Structures are given as C-alpha cells and as structure tokens.
Amino acid sequence: MRDSEPSRYPWKSVAAAVLAVSVMGIAGRTFLQGRSEPRAVVASPVPVPVEETVPVRTTGSIVIDSQPSGAKVTLDGAEVGLTPLKLDAVQAGRHTIAIVTATGSVRRSVRVEAGKLVTLDVPVYSGWLTVFSPIPLEVSSGGKSIGHTDTGKIMLPAGRHLLTLSNSDFGFTDSRTVEIHSGEERPLNVEPKGRVNINAHPWAEVWVDGNKAGDTPIANLQVLLGTRVFVFKHPQYGERRVTATVTTTDSALSVDFTKTPNQP
C-alpha cells in the first residue's frame, strides 16, 4: 500500500480570510468613529451697532466790556478779570455780574443758555438822585453826608447804594437802597409819617390837607410829617381849622365846638 501523501493545508485561504477580517475590523472602527456624538451648536449674538453719543452742552459764554475799560469783573462774587473780557464754560442758568471801577460799580443779572453767547457792554459813569419828601432830608452814604433834598439833584456813582435819610427836627431816620444807572436820574419818593389821635365835641368830620380822614373819634391816624392843616366840620357848628406840626412822636388834637376857639 502506497503511503498516502501528506495533506496540504490551505494556507493561502487562511491568509486571505485573516486579511479580510482585519480589513473589516479597521473599516468598522472607522465607521464607528464617524458616528460619534454630534457637538452642541452654540448661537453667537448678532452684534448691535452702537450709535455715537453726542455730548450735551451745559455751558455758554459771556463777553463783557465797559466804558471805561479796565474795570474789575466779578461773577457770582468771584473775581474773574478785567474788561474787556470773555468768559467761557459758564454754567447755564442765571448769574450776577458786577463791574467795578474807582468811581462806582454796576451789577447786572444775566441768563446764560447752553451753547450761546451773552454780550454785556456797560457804561460805568455817574448818575443822579432826586429825593421827593414832605420834609427836608439830609442824605448820607457810608456815614458821610452826600447832599440835601433842598439842593435838588444829588450826583452818585453808578451802582447800588445804601442811603440814610434823616431829619433830626422831626425825629425821622430811614434807610433806602437805590440803584443808580450811568447818565440817568433816579427819583426816590419818601413819605415819612407820624400818628395823630383826633377828637371833637360833640363830633366832627376831619379833613387833612384837603383829604377826608373820617369822623371823630379817630385813633392812630397816619399823617405825613411836617406842618399840616386839620379841618373839623360840623353841620350845626360850622368848621374849625387847626394847624399842627406832625413828628414821629404820637400827638393828639381835640376841638370843642361849644367853646370859642380861644376859650380854654
């Protein structure tokens, strides 16, 4: 019996099968890697265009000049320079400007608007004061006499002045503040008064300087200082005229129609 031939192992087929399995494994891994979990999509906000902000102006300017020039200028009490002068970046609103020279001062109130220019041209010359009063008055400023009502106009530097008006004979003293403008006349009316108590027997209408004051009795009647004429009228007894000097000291007047004028 012939020895049988050794069986041939199909090495080529086995090698092909191994190669096929390897290829399939690699393809499987590649496929699985391609099917990994999807990444979350994050939405980015769309940028909004930013508009440029225009700054709001809150200040204005003032140009100040004076006649004569070289006057000192104050703004709300603070010195800011000499005329002619321009002030920039002045806060909008109302401000007080004073222009001061050796002969006087002038105050002005101005309103500044944002982004606008205010112009002031101020003459700083003297003016005049005329005082109207029923009695003569001495006019003083800063403790010094500057005139008398009997002399007519009183010259004063332009600006604000605190004046004292007085008459020692009538016991009157008063203070007034006046604003004098350059080249202008400033009238000042003063009506100093005293109090008078008036009575009559049996009664009477009372007239003072042609104006009816009322029927007696009259208490604390306000009457202009000075020499005044009081007229007492009664429908039966007629009228009586009494001239009296009224001062700041309270006084009293009385008429008795049943007696003659000179009878006590």
> Per residue in 123-169, pLDDT tens?
777 888 999 999 999 999 988 999 999 888 898 888 889 999 999 99
Q: How many angstroms separate the CA atoms of 212 and 179, rounded? A: 36
Same domain for 198 and 252, yes or no, is: yes
Contact 75, 99 (CB under 8 A): no
In a domain, 17, yes or no: no
Q: Domain containing 69: what range?
A: 59-123
Task: Mark the ranges of the chain whose per-residue pLDDT is less than 70.
Answer: 1-55, 103, 262-264
Q: Which residues pair with 98 in a beta bridge?
A: 74, 107
In a domain, 5, yes or no: no
Listed residues 155, 174, 189: the one ending a domain? 189
Q: Which residues pair with 72 in a beta bridge?
A: 82, 100
Listed residues 123, 144, 163: the one ending a domain? 123
Q: How many angstroms separate the CA atoms of 191 and 172, rounded? A: 11
Listed residues 151, 173, 189: the one ending a domain? 189
Q: What is the pLDDT of residue 66?
A: 82
Q: How many domains does the chain have?
A: 3
Angle of CA points 194, 200, 204, to nearest 5°: 95
Q: Which residues pair with 211 in a beta bridge?
A: 208
In a domain, 25, yes or no: no
Q: What is the pLDDT of residue 32?
A: 47
Q: What is the pLDDT of residue 4?
A: 44
Q: How many angstroms separate the CA atoms of 252 and 219, rounded? A: 9
Q: What is the pLDDT of residue 150?
A: 86
Contact 230, 177 (CB under 8 A): no
Distances (CA, A) of 120 to 54, 65, 67, 117, 160: 30, 6, 11, 10, 18
Q: What is the pLDDT of residue 192?
A: 95
Same domain for 85 and 117, yes or no, is: yes
In a domain, 238, yes or no: yes
Q: What is the pTM of this model?
A: 0.56
Q: How many angstroms separate the CA atoms of 103 and 123, rounded? A: 12
